[in-house]
């Protein structure tokens, strides 16, 4: 089931940032009045998007907003986290559209998500991910939800942290060694009863799976221990030489036990092979 969860957390995030920081705080971080208005406008958009999703599900079946823990204390951290959450919302929505039973609902949802990407970007494609990956990334930022919210089951995968990762100020960076650290399966805080568990049926960690633009590429892991490994960051181009860099835009990385062939449409087939992840890169 697709829920308004993503729109609710984005709405809370944008409003929280505008309330927490003064106009002077934004100005000191080179975020002018026009950009501050854009943040408010993006929050207003989410009001419409949550209403649209509530109408799909009917009020008695739809979730309402939860309590969230946003990991920022500065304007710069707020902008970086907002970029990550917005990119996550785009990729998760693109990943679910073709799997909705209602084509009419999918069409309206596409109209909603399209408003969030009408900005100049220096990459060619936005990747799609399944709901399990989107919600795994969101889980640590949801602290509690109303008892009236329906309980929705999905697979939560163990968390992944990547050091020497790309960030929103870097583009087209490749071939650097990167260390990945993952956590064993554990209880996580989400839902009214806070009892969702992270699970994985995967075997030993062998690969890093990179979801970049519309490609899924694997790089072998080196120096593997019980919960960490290194790998060489993805390089190359979308269609070969003189085309767009593969490492640009929104990039997800996971640790897997195998390197099966999957496409953006059936990416959920990768779930059974995921040791940990996804971690989210933003570049460009």
Across the range 54-75, mean pLDDT stands at 81
Q: What is the pLDDT of residues 247-274, one digit of tens each?
A: 777 889 999 999 999 988 889 899 889 9
Q: What is the pLDDT of residues 177-201, one digit of tens each?
A: 666 676 654 444 444 455 556 677 8
Please give the Cα distance from 204 to 275 (Å, whole number): 8
Percent of the chain with pLDDT over 90: 20
- In the chain, ranges of CATH 2.60.40 domains: 148-283
148-283 maps to CATH 2.60.40:
yes
Average pLDDT of the chain, as a whole number: 80
For the ranges 8-12, 168-172, 197-201, the maximum mean pLDDT occurs at: 8-12
pLDDT at 30: 92
For the entire predicted model, the pTM comes to: 0.80
Q: What is the pLDDT of residues 105-131, one digit of tens each?
A: 788 788 777 766 655 566 788 888 988
């Amino acid at each position: 089931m697709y829920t308004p969860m993503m729109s609710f957390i984005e709405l809370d995030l944008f409003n929280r940032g505008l309330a927490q920081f003064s106009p002077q705080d934004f100005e000191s971080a080179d975020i002018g009045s026009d950009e501050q208005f854009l943040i408010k406008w993006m929050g207003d958009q989410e009001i419409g998007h949550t209403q649209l999703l509530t109408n799909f599900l009917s009020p008695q079946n739809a979730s309402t907003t939860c309590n969230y823990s946003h990991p920022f204390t500065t304007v710069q951290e707020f902008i970086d986290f907002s970029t990550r959450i917005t990119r996550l919302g785009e990729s998760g929505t693109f990943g679910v559209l073709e799997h909705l039973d209602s084509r009419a609902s999918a069409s309206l949802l596409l109209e909603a998500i399209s408003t969030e990407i009408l900005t100049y970007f220096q990459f060619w494609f936005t990747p799609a991910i399944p709901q399990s990956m989107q919600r795994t990334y969101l889980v640590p930022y949801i602290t509690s939800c109303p008892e009236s919210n329906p309980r929705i089951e999905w697979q939560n995968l163990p968390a992944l942290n990547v050091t020497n990762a790309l960030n929103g100020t870097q583009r087209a960076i490749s071939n650097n060694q990167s260390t990945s650290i993952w956590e064993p399966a554990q209880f996580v805080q989400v839902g009214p009863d806070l009892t969702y568990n992270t699970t994985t049926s995967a075997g030993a960690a062998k690969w890093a799976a990179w979801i970049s633009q519309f490609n899924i590429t694997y790089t072998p892991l080196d120096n593997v221990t019980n919960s960490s490994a290194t790998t060489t960051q993805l390089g190359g181009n979308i269609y070969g030489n003189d085309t767009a860099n593969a490492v640009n835009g929104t990039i997800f990385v996971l640790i897997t036990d195998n390197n099966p062939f999957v496409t953006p449409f059936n990416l959920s087939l990768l779930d059974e092979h995921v040791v940990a992840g996804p971690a989210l890169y933003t570049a460009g």
